[in-house]
Amino acid sequence: MPGMDKDWLFAEALDISDLTAYAAVNFTNVVDTGALINHKGDSISQVLNAGGRAALNIVVEDTALAGNGSTTVTFSLYDHTTVTPWTGGRKLMEFTITVSATNYPDGTQICSLPLPAMELSRYLGVTSLVAAGDLTAGAVTAWIGPVTQQP
């Protein structure tokens, strides 16, 4: 897995298992873009993807995802002016996968989606929602970093 800055990390090996249809998990951390600084100590613009290189990355980590064959899981990125961006925040993007018993083993990249090149609210957060079926096992890591490709 690529290197990650803890200030850009939403969750590391977050257990999202034992979810049934319409159950959601808010990821552990919220990214506070107002607290982010560059190597010179200057505040980073809230247009995080002005150069087109920042992405929401999600990978399976430690525990393979397992479902009943028709389990769908949607990962969403939100922004908001409060520290709970998934509550009343603006949905910036989402990505949906269908999980069977074996198609998302440990280390599998779920997505690497470039952030929108627009001004974002101060706080960013990620959720996962099981939209159909049951998710019986799995853990994920999510962060903002460079666009990555599955090896």
Q: What is the mean pLDDT of residues 123-136?
A: 91
36-78 tens-digit pLDDT? 777 787 766 656 666 667 899 999 999 999 988 789 999 999 9
CB 35 within 8 A of CB 145: no
The Cα–Cα gap between 73 and 92 comes to 17
Q: How far apart are CA 151 and CA 141, in angstroms?
A: 17
Closest CA to 19 of 87, 78, 77, 73: 73
Cα dihedral 74, 80, 84, 90, rounded to 10, equals -30
- Which residue, among 41, 26, 35, has the nearest Cα to 140 in the 3D structure? 26
CA 36 to chain centre: 18
pLDDT category, 142, cuts 50, 70, 90?
A: very high
CA distance 72 to 97: 6
The tens digit of pLDDT for each residue in 71-117 reads 999 999 999 999 999 999 999 999 999 998 878 999 999 999 998 88
The continuous run of DSSP H or E covering 140 comes out as: strand 139-146
- What are the pLDDT digits (tens) for 113-124? 998 888 888 899
